[in-house]
A and B are shown apart, each in its own frame.
Chain A
Amino acid sequence: MLKLFLWLRYLRKRKIVFLSVAAVALSVALLIVVASLFTGFINVFEQSAVETVGDVVLAPPIKFGKYPLFIERLEQTSAVKAATATLSTQGLLYLGKGNVRMVSVWGIEPGRREEVTGFKRSLLKQKKSPDEPSFKVSGTPERIGGFVGVGVVAAPDEKTDEYDFDAVEGMVGQQVVLITSAVTEPGATEGTSKLSSLKKKVVPFLIADIVFTGAYYVDKTFIYLPIEEVQKTLYPNDAGQIADQIQIKLSPGIPADVAIAQIRGLWQGFVDEQLNGDPYLKRYTDIETAKQMQSQYVAELRKQMGVLLLIFGVVSFSVVVLIFCIFYMIVRLKQRDIAIIKSCGTASSSVALIFVGFGACVGIIGSAIGAVLGYAVTKNINTIEEWIRIIFGLKLWKSSVYMFSKIPSEVDWSSALPIILFAVAAAAIGALIPAIVAARTRPVEILRYE
C-alpha cells in the first residue's frame, strides 16, 4: 500500500518523471511500427504468393501431358481441395501505336483457377458476376479472349500511385497482339544432342478483362490466356493436353508437409503409370508450398527487420540512461523520505523495491501509451502517408518500389508484446542503481539535527 502511495505521489509531484514515460512511449511506438510494417509486408508478400499460385505448386522441369487425369486424382485425395494446371511462356505484347511490353503468359483454366486462388476477385469486370470467370468477350464468341494485368496496359499515376480504373476498363474488348515462340520440333530431354526448333508465332486476342491483384510485379508482368490456346500456340504438334505446372489448394486443416508427401506419392505413381516412368520428371519435380518458394526472400526480410530493430533497440538504450538519471535525482532529493521510511523499520530490500517497482510502473505506463500510439500510427499508416504526400509532395510508398499498392497496416502483436516487456524490464533496470542507492541510505546520517 505504502509503495503504491509513494509511486502515485512521485508520479504526480515529480513532473520530470513524465519525460521518462514519454521517452519509453516514443521508443515503444517506433519499434512497434517498424516491427508491424515489416511483419505486415512479409505476411502480405506470402499471402500474395498463395493468391497467385495456390497453397502448393508442383513444378516439373519440363512440360508433361495428361494433366486432367492427374488433377482428377489429386482432387480425390483428402489433402487437396482443388487443383489447376498452367502452361507458361514469355512474349511481347503489342498494345497499340508505339506501345510494346514484355509479358509473362500464363495459359490457365479460369474456372478451376478461381477455386484454387480466388482469381475472380482480381478481375475488374467479372468480380461481381455470379458466374465463374470466363475468357469470352461479349459479341465476339468466336475470337480468343485474354486477361491482361492492369500494369501491362497502364501505369499508376506518378503522384497518387493509383490506376485510372475507368480508363483501364475501357480497354476491355480491344484487340492486342502477342508474339511468342512455338516449338515446331521438340528437343531431347536428356542425354542426346537433338535441339528444339522454334518458330515465332503471332497471337492476336481481345482483352476480356483486366487483372488487378495489388501486387505490382504480377499486375505489370502477367497476361492470361486459355490453356488450350497457349498449348496450340506453343506446341502445335502435340495432340494431348499439356501443362508445365499444377497449382493446388489444400483442404482446410491439412498440414503442408503431410499434403506434400501425399502429392509427391501420387505424382510418382502418375509418372510411372502415365508418363512412362520418366526419371527426369520423377527426380527433378519440385513440390513446394507457395510460402516455401518465397522463403529465401522472406528470410532476408526478417533479417533486415531484426537488424533495424537492433539498431533502434540500441538507440533506445538511452531510455535506460534517462530513467537512471531521473530516478537518481529523485532518490537524492527524497533522501529524507527514504530515511523516515527506513527509520520506521522498512527493510532496505523493500525500499529498493519501491524504486524498482516505480521504474517498472513508468515502463508499463510508457509502454501502454507507446502501444496505443504504435497501434494508431500503424492502423492509419496509409492515411499518414497520403497526408505527407499532400503536404510535402513526397510519395513515400510506391507500388513499383515496394511491390504492393497499400502499406500493410496490421499491428503485429506477437512482435509488440516482447517489445513492451523489454521496455518494462529496461525501465526497471534503469531504476535499479538509484534503488540500491536508496536502499543504502542511513537514516541516522540523513535525519541528524545538524
Chain B
Amino acid sequence: MYKIILAFRYLVKRRITYLAVLAVAICVFIVVVVMTVLTGLVIDFRQKNHSFVGDCVVGTESLVGFAYYEDFVKILEQSYFVEGISPVIKSFALVNPVGSERNVGVEIMGIDAVKHSKATGFGKTLYYRKDNVSKAFKPAYDPNLLGCVIGIDLVLERDAKSRYPYGSGPTDIPLAISCFPLNAKGALAKADAGLVKTQTFYYSDNSESGLARVDGSMVYLPFEQAQLLCGMAGPVKRVSAIHIKFKPNVRLEAGCEEVDSLWQSFKREKADEKQAYLLEKVTVQGWKDYRRAYIAAMEKEQTMMTAMFGLVGVTTVFIVFVVFYMIISHKSKDIGILKSIGVSNVNIIILFSGFAFLVGLLGSGVGLFAGWLFLLKINRIEDWLFERFGFQLWDRTIYAIGDIPNQVDAKVLAVIILSAIVACLVGALVPSRQAAKQKPIETLQVTQL
C-alpha cells in the first residue's frame, strides 16, 4: 500500500515529474497522430488492393496465359468454399481515340463484368453502371455498341479536393484498341493487319479503384473481345488468370491452400494434354502475395518511420532517467527511513518502477487524448489551412488520397502506450537500483540531516 501512496505522492508533489509526463505526452501525441495516419493509409491501400484482386489468384505473368481454364473453373464452382470466380485476360494495348493522332499505351483486362464483380470489388469502382454491373460494357448512349470501362485517371483529372468532374453520362468516344495477338508458343500470331489486331470500343464507364497505377493505365474490355484481341480465343482457349473470392467464413490461408491443392491435382490430370506446358508457370497466390510488390513499399515506409520514432524516443528515456535521478537524490532520507523499517531492496525498486509506470501511464493518457482530439479535427484543420493558405498535407491532384485517415487503431494505440510505459520503466531502472543500494546508516546520519 505504501508503494502506491508514495508513488502518487511523488507524482503530485514533485513538480519536476510533470516534465517527464510532458515529454512522454509530446512523444505519444506525435506518434499517435503519425502512426494513425500512416496505418490508415496502409490499411486503406491494402483494402483497395484486396478489393481489386479478390481473395486468391490462379495465374501466370506470361502474356501467353494458360489453357484448360474452363475445366478448372468447373472444379472451383463445385467446391464448397468459393463464392466468386472470374477468368481474366491481361495484356498491353495501344489505344487511339478515333479521329485523333494520339497513341496511348495501356494495360487491358478482359473480364465478364458480373463474374468479376462477384470475385472482386470491380462493380463498386464503376460510376455510371454501379447499380447495374451487367451493363458495364453497354454505353448508355447506344447499348448496342461494344463498350469499354476506362481507368478514371486516363479520362478525368482529379481536383484539389480529390474529386473528379463526372458528366451526366459517358461521352461518345470511340477508341481503337490494338494488341499483339500471341499464340500458345508466345510467338506473334497472324492477325488482320499483319501482326496486330485492332477493335473499336466505345467509352461506357469509368473505374475508380483508388489505386493510382491501376486507374492511370487500365482499360477493361469484355472478356470474349479481349480474348480475341490477345490471340487467346483459339481452339484451346486461354486466360491470364482466374480471380477467386472465398465464402465469408473461409480463412484466406486455408482457402488458398485448398485452391492450390485443387490446382496441383488438376495439373496432374492435364499433364498429357497438348498445352500442358503452359500450366507449369501458373501460381496460386493469396491477394497479399499477389500485390506484395506494391503493398510492401508502403509497409516498409511505416517500418522506417517507426524506427525513426524509436530513435527519437530515446530522448524520453533520458528525461525519465534524469527526473528520477533528481527525485531519488532528493528523497534519500525517505528511502533511508523505508529501508530502516525493513523494506527490501526489491520493494524500493518496485516503488520507483511503479512511479515510472504512473508517469508513463499519465503521459500516454495525456498524449493519447491530445492525439485523438487532433485526429478528430485533422481533416477540418487541413480544409481550413487549404482555404486560408492553400496548404494541403498531400496535393490531391498528385496523390490518390481522399480524406486524411483518422481512425484510431486500438492495436496501434496499445503498442504506443506499452512502448511509452516500457520507455519510462527503462529510464527509471538505473536510478531505482541506485535508490535500492542506498544504506540507511549513511543517509540517516545526523550530519546528513
**CB 8 Å contact bits of A172-204 with B (1 = contact, 0 = none):** 000001011101001100000001101110100
**Cross-chain contact A318 with B308 (CB below 8 angstroms):** no
**Cross-chain contact A26 with B62 (CB below 8 angstroms):** no
Q: Is A23 an interface residue (CB 8 A)?
A: yes
Q: Is B381 an interface residue (CB 8 A)?
A: no
**Cross-chain contact A318 with B316 (CB below 8 angstroms):** yes
Q: Is B136 an interface residue (CB 8 A)?
A: no
Q: Which of A289-333 contact B (CB under 8 A)?
A: 296-297, 299-300, 303, 307, 311-312, 314-319, 321-322, 324-326, 328-329, 332-333
> How many contacting A-B pairs (Cβ < 8 A)?
171
Shortest distance between the CB of A163 and any CB in chain B (Å)? 17
**B322 contacts which chain A residues (CB < 8 A)?**
16, 19, 322, 325-326, 329
**Cross-chain contact A401 with B93 (CB below 8 angstroms):** no
Q: Is A258 an interface residue (CB 8 A)?
A: no
**Cross-chain contact B319 with A322 (CB below 8 angstroms):** yes
**A97 contacts which chain B residues (CB < 8 A)?**
64, 185-187
**Cross-chain contact B34 with A311 (CB below 8 angstroms):** yes
Question: How far is B106's CA from A199's CA once the two chains are assembled, in angstroms?
Answer: 18
Q: Which of B1-51 contact A (CB under 8 A)?
A: 16, 19-20, 22-23, 26-27, 30, 34
The stretch of B78-86, B191-199, B264-272 in contact with A is B191-199
**Cross-chain contact A312 with B62 (CB below 8 angstroms):** no
**Cross-chain contact B64 with A177 (CB below 8 angstroms):** no
Q: Is A99 an interface residue (CB 8 A)?
A: yes
With A26-B312, A321-B22 in contact, do A102 and B106 touch (Cβ < 8 Å)? yes
Number of residues from A at the complex interface, CB < 8 A: 64
Shortest distance between the CB of B199 and any CB in chain A (Å)? 12
Secondary structure at the B interface, as helix, strand, loop or mixed, is mixed
**A394 contacts which chain B residues (CB < 8 A)?**
300, 303
With A179-B180, A195-B98, A196-B99 in contact, do A101 and B16 touch (Cβ < 8 Å)? no
- One of A26, A92, A186, A300 near B94 (C-beta < 8 A): A92
Question: How far is B329's CA from A99's CA once the two chains are assembled, in angstroms?
Answer: 74
**A96 contacts which chain B residues (CB < 8 A)?**
186
**B195 contacts which chain A residues (CB < 8 A)?**
94, 177, 179, 202
**Cross-chain contact A92 with B311 (CB below 8 angstroms):** no
**Cross-chain contact B178 with A200 (CB below 8 angstroms):** yes
**B105 contacts which chain A residues (CB < 8 A)?**
90-92, 102-104
Q: Is B236 an interface residue (CB 8 A)?
A: no
Question: How far is B323's CA from A333's CA once the two chains are assembled, in angstroms?
Answer: 14
Shortest distance between the CB of A236 and any CB in chain B (Å)? 13
Shortest distance between the CB of B219 and any CB in chain A (Å)? 12
**CB 8 Å contact bits of A79-102 with B (1 = contact, 0 = none):** 000000000011110101111111
Q: Is A239 an interface residue (CB 8 A)?
A: no
**Cross-chain contact B186 with A187 (CB below 8 angstroms):** no
**Cross-chain contact A322 with B23 (CB below 8 angstroms):** yes
Q: Is B91 an interface residue (CB 8 A)?
A: yes
**B180 contacts which chain A residues (CB < 8 A)?**
92, 94, 100, 177, 179
Question: How far is B187's CA from A307's CA once the two chains are assembled, in angstroms?
Answer: 51
Question: How far is B304's CA from A186's CA once the two chains are assembled, in angstroms?
Answer: 53
**Cross-chain contact A325 with B96 (CB below 8 angstroms):** no
Q: Is B173 an interface residue (CB 8 A)?
A: no
Q: Is B332 an interface residue (CB 8 A)?
A: no
**Cross-chain contact A23 with B315 (CB below 8 angstroms):** yes
Question: How far is B180's CA from A179's CA once the two chains are assembled, in angstroms?
Answer: 8
**Cross-chain contact B319 with A196 (CB below 8 angstroms):** no
Question: How far is B22's CA from A371's CA once the two chains are assembled, in angstroms?
Answer: 27
Question: How far is B300's CA from A104's CA once the two chains are assembled, in angstroms?
Answer: 30
Question: How far is B309's CA from A440's CA once the two chains are assembled, in angstroms?
Answer: 38
**Cross-chain contact A398 with B196 (CB below 8 angstroms):** no
Question: How far is B91's CA from A325's CA once the two chains are assembled, in angstroms?
Answer: 64
- Report the 7 A-B pairs with minimum CB-CB distance, sorted nearest first: A102-B105, A195-B99, A97-B186, A98-B186, A98-B64, A401-B297, A90-B105
Chain A residues within CB distance 8 Å of chain B: 16, 19-20, 22-23, 26-27, 30, 34, 89-92, 94, 96-104, 177, 179-181, 183, 186-187, 195-196, 198-200, 202, 296-297, 299-300, 303, 307, 311-312, 314-319, 321-322, 324-326, 328-329, 332-333, 394, 396, 398, 400-401
Q: Pick 5 A–B contacts, CB within 8 A, sort by A.
A: A26-B312, A100-B180, A181-B94, A181-B178, A314-B30
Q: A187-B100, A316-B315 are in contact. List 20 more A-B contacts (CB 8 A).
A: A19-B321, A19-B322, A26-B315, A34-B308, A90-B105, A92-B178, A94-B188, A97-B185, A102-B107, A198-B96, A311-B30, A311-B34, A315-B27, A321-B319, A322-B315, A325-B16, A325-B323, A328-B326, A329-B325, A329-B326
